[in-house]
Amino acid sequence: MSSTYEKLQKSLASIRKVTDFKPEIGITLGSGLGGLAEKIDKVCEISYKDIEGFPVSTVSGHDGRFIFGTLSGKRVVVMSGRVHFYEGYRMEEVVTPVRIMGLLGAKTVLLTNAAGGINLDFKPGDLMMITDHISLFVQNPLLGQNADELGPRFPDMSTVYDRRLQEKIRQAAAATGFDIKEGVYVQLTGPSYETPAEIRMLRKIGADAAGMSTVVEAIAANHMGLRVAGISCITNMAAGILDQPLNHEEVKATADMVKEKFEELVMEFIKIIE
Ligand code: HPA
């Protein structure tokens, strides 16, 4: 057994001591978007600190727990509070929660985040469906010995974000009457925000939104054969676009403003996916 898989099995066993809940869908909530957790008809909740071998998140606005229950008629596990590379964890630890969601039984994961808008057609408060990603600036989470139990050594990444799920997000947006943008998300390590020169470069290489999460989780989920969908909340225009500095308070405030729209869209999406 690969050491990665062995560690995952230990974490899984400590969850299985508490619940035998089998989610269909795993959802990861981004900065300031944790409110969706309140909409769940909750069955059980487990704090990361109670799971053996689990990394514990420390950033403000993230509270670190799995919530199991029903949302829009589907069995879900919500990861409220994610683990970031900038907190000092290894990439393998950063992707542990999403891998656990898969091992618990989820076949689909929805990854959400707060992001800075690089595309000049975007504005703060927009939601962007992720159609593809750029991961050139962060370590690949699959480095090291391959966990063959999870997936192949050289996994294909041609369609990380499942096309059928993308269509469902478009349908959910139409049904709720919300406009949804689409684009390419780029993950950087953070925790410093980008410089204006970096944002100009990222725009030139095809990125529409920048953030500090999601891509590595999408890679790990895709590696193990899960269907992935992603939604970014554009909380601010990226550095240098407006003549003002960036800060985490603004990110949280915008996410808070958009949260009802975000929650409605996600709930409709969860309802209509097969
Ligand atoms: N850059 C990187 N990450 C972010 C941003 C940003 O502008 N906004 C929210 N998360």
CB 238 less than 6 A from any atom of ligand 1: yes
Residue 50 has pLDDT above 70, yes or no: yes
**Bridge partners of residue 127, in order along the sequence:** 233
Is any ligand 1 atom within 6 A of the Cβ of residue 224? no
Residue (of 52, 206, 220, 84) closest to 143 by Cα position: 220
3-state secondary structure of 11: helix
Which residue has a Cα nearest atom 9 of ligand 1?
Answer: 115
30 lines ligand 1 (CB under 6 A): no
Atom of ligand 1 nearest to the CA of 246: 7
Give per-residue pLDDT as tens, 93-109.
Answer: 999 999 999 999 999 99
- DSSP code of residue 85: G
* 250 has a pLDDT exceeding 60: yes
Position 38 pLDDT exceeds 90? no
Once rounded to an integer, what is the mean pLDDT over residues 149-154? 97
Confidence of residue 35 (pLDDT cuts 50, 70, 90): confident
Nearest alpha carbon to residue 224 among 100, 126, 128, 133? 100
**19: pLDDT strictly greater than 70:** yes
233 C-beta closer than 6 A to ligand 1: no
> Smallest Cα–Cα separation from 5: which of 170, 220, 252?
220
Structure confidence at residue 58 (pLDDT) = 63
High-pLDDT (> 70) share of the chain, % = 97
Among 57, 92, 236, 239, the active-site one is 236
Closest CA to 199 of 240, 244, 245, 248: 240
* Residue bearing the CA closest to ligand 1, atom 3: 211
51 CA to centre of ligand 1 in angstroms = 29
Residue 154, token pair as written in the block: 């050289």
Q: Which two tokens stand for residue 175?
A: 């049904």
Which H helix or E strand runs over 228?
strand 227-237
Distance CA 245, CA 70 (A): 40
Residue 60 has pLDDT above 80, yes or no: no
CA distances from 188 to 30, 106, 136, 213, 221 (A): 15, 27, 8, 8, 19
The pLDDT of residue 59 is 58
pLDDT at 5: 95
Q: 246 CB less than 6 Å from ligand 1? A: yes
For this structure, is 133 an active site residue? Answer: no
53-57, 230-234, 263-267 — which is least confidently predicted? 53-57
Distance 118 CA to ligand 1 centre (A): 10
pLDDT at 64: 83
Rounded to the nearest integer, the mean pLDDT of the chain is 94
**Averaged pLDDT, 90-94:** 93
Average pLDDT over residues 235-243: 95
